């Protein structure tokens, strides 16, 4: 029963093999250390996509050195060499980044430090420093990538790092057992983590800032409109923003996400008003008809634009209103932001001012004769008819919507209207506004996004970069600024396309562009695989949106709101909390009572005692089983033999070598 | 039992380091006896958390916050795991046999792990021993022998044996101090160089020089045997420690009286060592022997019990 185990050998903390130690010991350690090294490699891996190659090469070099040194400790660098390596690798990293202390450089230095630490894992302390550094490296990856994938990856590697610690502290723990323990640390930690996340106070940053070396590639719209600016975007499946509607969705034909207004035309390029321009800019036009309230989750685009459905009727905190009634953020959108806006289906405008009219009629030069004669055909009509006539001109004269129109350098508008007649939204919007201005109608080009894919799982609209679009607004006396989209006339399927866009498969879309024709998609019934893929993409997209909206978007304000909400429901929470706690305690007590009786032999004996107790015989705590049996035999003479047998059996099972309790079970069941 | 502590006792600092006093009874480790504080690595981890948190706040990075809180929560859960490493263990102290100064005393602790959990690396620590580490499989009983090194003679209390574990993450140290109120004896070290036993009568004991006596055989070594008597060759062959036995001249059956006053020398410890050796020799001779110390005196007798009584008497000799 008793075995003496004394381990007098103090635990080795150095990971490297020492001459003269038992081989079994070394193998065990090597096995652990190799595991540790693989985990570290995994921790570094995602940086492959963000960091210059040298930073990773430095780490990999030290990593490999450590790998070899596990079995050949003589290969370890001396203290002098170690210092030299530190200096050289630091210098190398700084040179590659040309001396700029950017975020990438500092992470590179961190990783190099982690690699160097691998070469002096001598004490327990060194080991812990390495693991802690690895955790810090995991955090730095979130500065580049905050996707769901990355979160899962980080969780997995946190789990593996805690396994490394368990292996270090345990005595020949198997990997599986370590994983088990790690899971039992990890799983109960999850609810705690959520509570921390929701309630732990936060500080609004930043306290310091390190610039990114590459800067952020600006995606999305540009600051001006010229042919080709938007067509590049139509290849992009990147999300621009997501919109959740509080209430009804607007009809598809109204899903124009307005963001830029272009007034000035120089013959080729359309630009917005200079920032200091002061239009009369009285308050927002009054909304009429159906209000739509919606929350936009905007991906960082490193510009100031905010998007609204048509004209905004309210201005969110982070935004200012421009004179041409678009929303602009107060600061550059360099992180995901959320804002809520209300828009109406139509508006009541105050009359156009002289300055506005002047700006909306600006032309780079006097129009050519051809254009003048075209416009002259419509001159007698009222403004709405003129606009309609221009639309009809596009519809009836063989205009083609294509993303690869012939390049036009000189006389862009005229050649487009009368020669090539091939173009995309920018061409049509530009030409339409030009014609309207020549006809004397105030007009402007509007840029933004159109449509968006409605995700049926998450009930929100996803707007992709590919949804970028340009359309026009012309001033109709009595009605105000009215939206006209000449692209729709040329390619009626355009709306359909923008509504169903990238999710079901971007490749289909690209094929359409290549052929230069717009066709209806989904020809024939999709097969099971396509259906499944469609469902999966919807689900994944919805998960991503929730992730962005509720996890990554959770900020100081949400936290305050949560507190207010909790204060409101305080009493209910106190009662429910108390109830849950009390239930938990009771369940725990019951379970622990059951758990304490795990010994089946003891349980059987207790059953026997209960049976005797019914006959008025109870065992005192000080009485030994045999003493009690003697007493019981005298008081129940008719079952004396059985009592003796049971007691003997019990004692053999309890203190002897026997372990099969079948006999005891049988005897006790016989006992009345 | 938990109710027997007053508030003041409960928060006495001594409980955390020395532990409550225990006698020979079985001790079940529970929340009252287990204490948990961060280790040095745990403090380092706290620093890491602070760094992670500051970085997350700086970049307003919610995933960073999540990682920080996950690690903090895992550390907290590991406190509970550390507690579960020790709780429920049953510790049964054995008795500790007297030894001569310089030898190692052996204190057996029987540990029972009645649960179905494996207990990883529990360190048994005591100021007089090098820490021993024990891993216990589910539902097992182990006896941990704690070797206490001795320097001085005397009557000692075992004092505090601390069971420590830092499993699983090494960030928290759970410990339970078991302050055993058990005494153990360290007798004076028997002198190596024997001085002939002084007799109160003129009758002289034979010289202890072995060379002029006849070799009779071996017996297993007993403390106090002269180093010259040890059968070194046998030991080298791995036959264990044996002493050579020599034929004594026929001995008188008269009682031996050992008297502190008669022990030669000035150094008290050396004299006690000499006396100790004489006692062992007297016991071996098979004759009755008595002992007179300044504090008390024991009537002539023989046998193990008498020998230990004598040894205890000389051990308690105080310098004053």
A526-584 residue pLDDT tens: 567 777 777 787 788 788 878 877 787 787 777 888 888 888 787 788 888 888 888 88
Please judge whether A193 and B69 are an interchain contact, meaning their C-beta atoms are less than 8 angstroms apart. yes
Please judge whether B66 and A151 are an interchain contact, meaning their C-beta atoms are less than 8 angstroms apart. yes
Residue B110 contacts A, CB cutoff 8 Å: yes
pLDDT computed for residue A525 by the predictor: 54
Query: Looking at residue B106, what DSSP letter applies?
Result: E
- The structure tokens listed for A513 are 């562009």
pLDDT digit string (tens) for A477-509? 888 888 888 888 887 766 665 555 444 443 344
Listed by number, the residues of chain B in 77-96 with a beta carbon closer than 8 Å to a beta carbon of chain A are 77-78, 80-81
Task: With beta carbons less than 8 A apart as the criterion, state whether B63 and B52 touch.
Answer: no
Catalytic residue list contains A66: no
Mean pLDDT along residues A643-662:
78
- The structure tokens listed for B232 are 């070194």
Distance CA A624, CA A629 (A): 9
pLDDT computed for residue B66 by the predictor: 93
- The structure tokens listed for B249 are 């001249």
pLDDT class for A18, splitting at 50, 70, 90?
very low
Tell me the three state secondary structure of residue A540: helix
Residue B111 contacts A, CB cutoff 8 Å: no
pLDDT class for A133, splitting at 50, 70, 90?
very high
pLDDT computed for residue A594 by the predictor: 58
CA angle A279–A282–A284, rounded 5-degree value: 110
| Optimal mutation site among A36, A123, A185, A598, interface B, most CBs of chain B within 10 A | A185
Residues in chain B closer than 8 A to A182 (CB atoms)? 168
Catalytic residue list contains A28: no
Residues in chain B closer than 8 A to A132 (CB atoms)? 44-45, 48
Please judge whether A7 and B132 are an interchain contact, meaning their C-beta atoms are less than 8 angstroms apart. yes
pLDDT computed for residue A418 by the predictor: 87
Q: Which of A138, A208, A553 sits opposite B67 (nearest CB)?
A: A138
Residues in chain A closer than 8 A to B66 (CB atoms)? 151, 193, 197, 551
Q: What is the mean pLDDT of chain A?
A: 79
Please judge whether A186 and B61 are an interchain contact, meaning their C-beta atoms are less than 8 angstroms apart. no
Catalytic residue list contains A660: no
Residue A3 scores a pLDDT above 70: no
Q: What is the mean pLDDT of chain B?
A: 81
Mean pLDDT along residues B129-136:
85
Residue of A55, A324, A427, A485 with catalytic role: A485
ipTM computed for the complex: 0.77
Please judge whether A335 and B130 are an interchain contact, meaning their C-beta atoms are less than 8 angstroms apart. no
Residue of A nearest to B48 (CA): A132
Task: With beta carbons less than 8 A apart as the criterion, state whether A262 and A272 touch.
Answer: yes
Please judge whether A128 and B133 are an interchain contact, meaning their C-beta atoms are less than 8 angstroms apart. no
| Optimal mutation site among A169, A192, A204, interface B, most CBs of chain B within 10 A | A169
pLDDT computed for residue A13 by the predictor: 41
pLDDT computed for residue A279 by the predictor: 67
Residues in chain A closer than 8 A to B104 (CB atoms)? none
Please judge whether A189 and B76 are an interchain contact, meaning their C-beta atoms are less than 8 angstroms apart. yes
Nearest chain A CA: its distance from B27 CA (Å): 17
pLDDT computed for residue A64 by the predictor: 92
Task: Show me where the domains of chain B are located.
Answer: 15-187, 189-206+249-320, 210-247
Please judge whether A189 and B81 are an interchain contact, meaning their C-beta atoms are less than 8 angstroms apart. no
Task: With beta carbons less than 8 A apart as the criterion, state whether A639 and A672 touch.
Answer: yes
Please judge whether A193 and B73 are an interchain contact, meaning their C-beta atoms are less than 8 angstroms apart. yes
pLDDT digit string (tens) for A164-182? 999 888 877 888 888 999 9
Q: pLDDT over 70 for what percent of chain A? A: 84
Residues in chain A closer than 8 A to B71 (CB atoms)? 135, 158
Lowest mean pLDDT among A83-87, A142-146, B170-174: A142-146
Lowest mean pLDDT among A60-69, A451-460, B81-90: A451-460
Q: Which of B61, B71, B81 sits opposite A143 (nearest CB)?
A: B61
Residue B132 contacts A, CB cutoff 8 Å: yes
Distance CA B18, CA B11 (A): 13
Query: Looking at residue A213, what DSSP letter applies?
Result: S
Please judge whether A185 and B44 are an interchain contact, meaning their C-beta atoms are less than 8 angstroms apart. no
| Optimal mutation site among B39, B51, B54, B71, interface A, most CBs of chain A within 10 A | B71
Distance CA B208, CA B193 (A): 10
Give Cα B274 to chain centroid, integer Å: 25
Lowest mean pLDDT among A166-175, A293-302, B196-205: B196-205
pLDDT computed for residue A22 by the predictor: 36
Give Cα A308 to chain centroid, integer Å: 23
Residue of A nearest to B110 (CA): A2
Please judge whether B61 and A146 are an interchain contact, meaning their C-beta atoms are less than 8 angstroms apart. yes
Q: Burial of A167 by CB count in 10 Å (0-12 exposed, 13-18 middle, 19+ buried)?
A: buried
Distance CA A175, CA A34 (A): 12
Check residues A243 and A346 and name the one with the higher pLDDT: A243
pLDDT computed for residue A494 by the predictor: 65
B138's CB contacts (< 8 A; 6+ apart) are B113, B115, B116, B117, B118
Size of interface A-B (CB pairs under 8 A): 177
| Optimal mutation site among A193, A556, A558, A655, interface B, most CBs of chain B within 10 A | A193
pLDDT computed for residue B252 by the predictor: 54
pLDDT class for A209, splitting at 50, 70, 90?
low
Please judge whether A165 and B44 are an interchain contact, meaning their C-beta atoms are less than 8 angstroms apart. no
Mean pLDDT along residues A662-666:
83
Single out the residue of A235, A49, A220 nearest to residue A144, CA to CA. A49
pLDDT digit string (tens) for B55-81? 998 888 889 999 999 999 999 999 999
A334's CB contacts (< 8 A; 6+ apart) are A216, A300, A302
Cα–Cα distances (Å) from B265 to B189, B270, B274, in that order, read 16, 7, 9
Listed by number, the residues of chain B in 223-252 with a beta carbon closer than 8 Å to a beta carbon of chain A are none
Residues in chain B closer than 8 A to A207 (CB atoms)? 54, 57-58
Q: pLDDT over 90 for what percent of chain B? A: 15
Residues in chain B closer than 8 A to A170 (CB atoms)? 120-121, 135, 167-168
pLDDT digit string (tens) for A386-444? 888 888 888 888 888 877 777 777 778 888 888 888 888 888 888 899 988 988 889 99
Residues in chain B closer than 8 A to A146 (CB atoms)? 61-63
pLDDT computed for residue B223 by the predictor: 65
Nearest chain B CA: its distance from A23 CA (Å): 20
Residue A379 scores a pLDDT above 80: no
Please judge whether A207 and B141 are an interchain contact, meaning their C-beta atoms are less than 8 angstroms apart. no
Distance CA A198, CA A195 (A): 5
Residue B72 contacts A, CB cutoff 8 Å: yes
pLDDT class for A644, splitting at 50, 70, 90?
confident
Distance CA A378, CA A439 (A): 8
Query: Looking at residue A552, what DSSP letter applies?
Result: I
Please judge whether B144 and A124 are an interchain contact, meaning their C-beta atoms are less than 8 angstroms apart. no
Residue B139 contacts A, CB cutoff 8 Å: no
Nearest chain B CA: its distance from A465 CA (Å): 24
Please judge whether B71 and A11 are an interchain contact, meaning their C-beta atoms are less than 8 angstroms apart. no
Nearest chain A CA: its distance from B59 CA (Å): 6
Residue of A469, A545, A548, A661 with catalytic role: A469
DSSP β-bridge partners for residue A255:
none
Residue of A47, A50, A324, A425 with catalytic role: A425
């Amino acid at each position: 029963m008793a075995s003496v185990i004394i381990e007098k050998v103090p635990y080795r903390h150095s990971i490297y093999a020492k001459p003269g130690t038992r081989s079994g010991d070394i193998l065990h350690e090597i096995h652990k250390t190799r595991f540790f090294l693989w985990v570290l490699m995994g921790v570094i891996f995602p940086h492959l996509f963000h960091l210059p190659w040298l930073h990773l090469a430095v780490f990999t070099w030290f990593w490999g050195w450590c790998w070899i040194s596990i079995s050949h400790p003589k290969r370890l660098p001396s203290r002098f060499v170690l210092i030299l390596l530190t200096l050289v690798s630091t210098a190398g990293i700084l040179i590659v980044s040309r001396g700029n202390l950017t975020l990438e450089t500092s992470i590179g230095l961190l990783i190099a430090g982690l690699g160097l630490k691998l070469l002096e894992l001598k004490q327990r302390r060194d080991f812990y420093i390495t693991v802690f550094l690895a955790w810090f490296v995991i955090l730095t990856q979130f500065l580049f990538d905050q996707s769901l994938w990355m979160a899962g990856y980080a969780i997995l590697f946190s789990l593996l790092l805690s396994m490394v610690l368990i292996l270090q502290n345990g005595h020949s723990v198997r990997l599986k057992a370590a994983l088990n323990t790690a899971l039992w640390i990890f799983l109960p930690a999850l609810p705690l983590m959520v509570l921390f996340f929701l309630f732990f106070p936060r500080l609004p940053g930043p306290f310091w800032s390190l610039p990114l070396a590459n800067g952020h590639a600006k995606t999305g719209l540009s600051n001006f409109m010229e042919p080709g600016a938007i067509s590049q975007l139509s290849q992009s499946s990147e999300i621009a923003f997501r919109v959740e509607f509080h209430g009804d969705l607007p009809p598809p034909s109204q899903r124009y996400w307005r963001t830029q207004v272009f007034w000035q035309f120089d013959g080729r390029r359309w630009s917005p008003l200079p920032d200091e321009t002061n239009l009369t800019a009285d308050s927002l036009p009054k909304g009429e008809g159906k209000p739509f309230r919606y929350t936009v989750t905007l991906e960082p685009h490193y510009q100031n634009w905010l998007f609204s459905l048509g004209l905004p009727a309210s201005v969110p905190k982070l935004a200012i209103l421009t004179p041409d009634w678009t929303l602009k953020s107060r600061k550059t959108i360099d992180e995901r932001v959320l804002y809520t806006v209300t828009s109406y289906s139509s508006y009541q405008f105050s009359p156009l001012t002289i300055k506005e009219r002047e700006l909306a009629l600006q032309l780079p030069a006097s129009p050519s004769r051809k254009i003048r004669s075209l416009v002259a055909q419509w001159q007698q009509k009222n403004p709405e008819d003129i606009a309609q006539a221009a639309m009809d001109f596009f519809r009836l004269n063989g205009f083609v919507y294509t993303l690869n129109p012939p390049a036009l350098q000189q006389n862009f508008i005229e050649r487009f209207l009368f020669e090539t007649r091939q173009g995309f939204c920018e061409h049509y919007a530009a030409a339409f506004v030009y014609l309207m201005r020549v006809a004397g109608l105030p007009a402007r080009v509007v840029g933004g996004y159109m449509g968006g894919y409605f995700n049926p799982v998450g009930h929100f609209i996803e707007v992709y970069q590919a949804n970028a679009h340009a359309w026009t607004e012309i001033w109709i006396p009595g009605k105000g600024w009215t939206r006209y989209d000449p692209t729709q006339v040329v390619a009626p399927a355009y709306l359909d396309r923008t509504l169903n866009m990238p999710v079901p498969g971007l490749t289909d879309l690209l094929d359409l562009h290549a052929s230069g024709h717009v066709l209806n998609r989904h020809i024939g019934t999709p097969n099971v695989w396509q259906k499944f893929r469609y469902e999966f993409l919807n689900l994944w997209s919805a998960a991503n949106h929730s992730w962005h909206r509720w996890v990554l978007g959770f900020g100081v304000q949400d936290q305050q709101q949560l507190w207010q909400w909790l204060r409101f429901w305080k009493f209910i929470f106190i009662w429910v909390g108390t109830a849950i706690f009390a239930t938990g305690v009771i369940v725990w007590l019951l379970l622990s009572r059951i758990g304490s009786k795990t010994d089946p032999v003891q349980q059987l004996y207790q059953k026997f005692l209960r049976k005797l107790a019914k006959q008025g015989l109870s065992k005192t705590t000080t009485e030994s089983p045999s003493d009690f049996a003697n007493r019981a035999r005298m008081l129940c003479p008719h079952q004396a033999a059985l009592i003796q047998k049971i007691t003997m059996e019990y004692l053999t099972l309890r203190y002897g070598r026997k372990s099969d309790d079948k006999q005891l079970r049988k005897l006790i069941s016989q006992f009345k | 039992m938990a109710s027997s502590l007053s508030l003041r006792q409960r928060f006495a600092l001594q409980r955390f380091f020395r532990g409550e006093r225990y006698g020979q009874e079985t001790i079940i480790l529970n929340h009252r006896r287990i204490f948990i504080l961060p280790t040095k690595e745990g403090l380092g981890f706290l620093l890491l958390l602070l760094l992670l948190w500051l970085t997350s706040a700086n970049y307003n990075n919610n995933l960073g916050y999540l990682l920080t809180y996950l690690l903090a929560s895992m550390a907290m859960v590991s406190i509970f795991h550390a507690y579960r490493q020790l709780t429920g263990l049953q510790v049964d102290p054995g008795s500790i046999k007297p030894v001569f100064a310089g030898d190692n005393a052996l204190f057996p602790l029987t540990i029972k792990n009645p649960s179905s959990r494996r207990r990883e690396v529990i360190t048994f620590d005591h100021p007089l021993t090098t820490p021993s580490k024990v891993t216990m499989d589910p539902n097992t009983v182990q006896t941990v022998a704690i070797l206490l090194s001795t320097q001085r003679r005397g009557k000692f209390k075992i004092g505090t044996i601390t069971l420590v574990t830092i499993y699983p993450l090494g960030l928290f140290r759970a410990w339970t101090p078991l302050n055993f109120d058990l005494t153990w004896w360290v007798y004076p070290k028997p002198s190596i160089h024997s001085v002939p036993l002084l007799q109160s009568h003129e009758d002289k004991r034979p010289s202890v020089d072995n060379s002029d006596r006849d070799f009779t055989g071996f017996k297993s070594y007993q403390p106090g045997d002269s180093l010259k008597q040890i059968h070194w060759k046998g030991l080298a062959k791995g036959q264990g420690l044996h002493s050579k036995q020599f034929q004594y001249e026929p001995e008188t059956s008269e009682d031996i009286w050992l008297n502190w006053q008669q022990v030669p020398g000035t150094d008290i410890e050396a004299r006690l060592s000499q006396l100790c050796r004489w006692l062992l020799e007297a016991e071996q001779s098979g004759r009755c022997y008595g002992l007179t110390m300044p504090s008390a005196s024991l009537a002539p007798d023989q046998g193990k019990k008498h020998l230990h009584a004598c040894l205890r008497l000389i051990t308690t000799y105080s310098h004053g």
